[in-house]
Amino acid sequence: MRTIKLVVAYDGNSYHGFQKQKNVVAVQNVIEEALSKICGEAVATAGSGRTDAGVHAWAQTITFETNGRIPCANMIRALSSLLPADIVAISAEEMEAGFHARFSAKWKRYQYRI
């Protein structure tokens, strides 16, 4: 089982926040659907944090585990072809087992603009 760290950016205007939800579209739902197609199996992601509806992210860290063999460099290209224009995969990196986007984070930065 591989542990992958994925960094994404998104414009949250069209979403009901980051965290997946039933009956509404959230960023996590869209990313998991694309990753599941790429990896050929159901993928569950964990985010380093959550955003509310309409909130954007410049560098949201996400982790997931997969048995899929697609190289990380190819994963970015594949995600770009499946994700909508308002969600962008910035980087993908294979991590050691046990790495978790939220629990392994050393710091987080939030910037609020009104």
Active-site amino acid positions? 52
Q: Among positive and negative, which fits the CA dihedral 100, 65, 8, 26?
A: negative
Closest by CA position to 2, among listed 62, 63, 49:
63
Q: Among positive and negative, which fits the CA dihedral 74, 103, 59, 56?
A: positive
Name the strand (E) or helix (H) holding 93.
strand 87-95
Amino acid at 75: M
Rounded (5°) CA angle 76-79-84:
130
